[in-house]
Amino acid sequence: MAQHNDLGRWGESTAASFLLERGYQIIAKNYRSWQAEIDLIAQKGKMLIFVEVKTRSGTAFGMPEEFVNAAKAKLVMRAAENYIFDTDWNFDVRFDIISIIILPNGNTDIRHIEDAFSK
């Protein structure tokens, strides 16, 4: 298996733990619909949060969140529409990005960008 796949899975697990520590409930991981995958679906109160996780081992090519372009956001939103319809969700939704950078000293820098697709 490719090393970047391992890094991505590690990042998604780290992001899920990050959200759990902050009072979110993880509803689904790697939800697939059409040609898109939503890394994490979380809930906090009556808010359903669709989370794109980006993990990088450095910033030489830019910040992880910069890799979520308009096309990717559109795919995630389309998959989210299907999830909302399938589960008959009738409350608020939000689209977040969790950006994880593994620092040279082995520590991680985690940024939670709430409502990322509307900015």
Looking up residue 104, the CATH number of its domain turns out to be: 3.40.1350.10
Distance, CA of 13 to CA of 7 (rounded, Å)? 10
CA dihedral 96, 66, 111, 30 (to 10 degrees): 50
Total domain count for the chain?
Answer: 1
The parent domain of residue 112 ranges over: 3-118
| pLDDT of residue 21 exceeding 80 | yes
Instruction: Please enumerate, as own/partner, the contacts of 38-43 that have beta carbons within 8 Å and a separation of 24 or more.
Output: 38/76, 38/79, 38/80, 38/83, 39/12, 39/15, 40/12, 40/15, 40/16, 40/98, 41/83
Tens-digit pLDDT profile for residues 60-92? 677 888 888 899 999 999 999 999 999 999 999
**pLDDT of 4:** 60
Nearest one of 38, 54, 42 to 89, comparing CA atoms: 42
* Predicted structure pTM score: 0.91
Q: Residues 27-64: pLDDT tens digits?
A: 999 999 978 899 999 999 999 999 999 998 877 677 88
